[in-house]
Amino acid sequence: MPASEELAKRVLEAGRCCSLTKAVLEEWARVGSPKQVEYLAAYLEAERASREASKRASLLRRCALPAPKTFDGYDWSAVSWPDGLGREDLLSLSFLERRENLVLTGDVGTGKTHMASALCQLACDRRMEARFFTASSLVMRLRRARDEGRLDREMAQVARARLLVIDELGFLPLDADGARLVFQVFADAYERQSVVITTNLEFSRWGGVFGDDQMAAAVIDRIVHHGRLVQFRGESYRVKHALMQEG
């Protein structure tokens, strides 16, 4: 007895996700008995699930999050949304499809880095490449790559990410060499990647971060063209839940 159309469809869908030949899959789905095709479909679906899990794990390793974060239990009360962007838009990752940027700015400890990290986790779960750097770690990584003669390759790897997070921009000033390297990352990302920046500095103070007002203006120009400003206001979560409290 031929297998049902539903079973044949399962074999075809799972097998194609495993890069198997469509003609062979269709033939086996057609000639196999229902039990045989059911077994084949279950096997291929298990293989697909295994490959997808391996892909997500590989993406997370490359992303290099300092700590895993999700939006489960996230406190949204400190977030002030710009026009055209809300919680559901953020969680859908639709801004990645549009190659839009986000600047998460505001008070220390209000959830900016948590949000950026959770966005990376979400992207990797959906099998999209994401990379997470602090501004200082990005500079060190690029400087080391340049000193070892592999800067172009390192920049190409950074440019592969659909989502690029640069955390703590402005916490430490950049020297002239570091500023030029970070500027090149922003220039390469323009209209090709979505960049998420966390900072506690308003744009008017970015000149001090880059050590050059014109370079800062060029970075801001690229970020805001397809970007949205998400503001955070409130008490620091870490201070609020600290073990050390004043009497």
Record the pTM. Answer: 0.81
pLDDT value, residue 164: 98
Longest dimension (CA), the chain: 79
pLDDT averaged over consecutive 10-residue blocks of the chain (247 residues)? 68 70 75 79 81 90 93 95 95 96 93 97 96 96 97 96 97 93 97 97 94 95 96 72 52
pLDDT tens, residue by residue, 55-108: 899 999 999 999 889 999 999 999 999 999 999 999 999 999 999 999 999 988
pLDDT value, residue 179: 96
pLDDT value, residue 89: 94
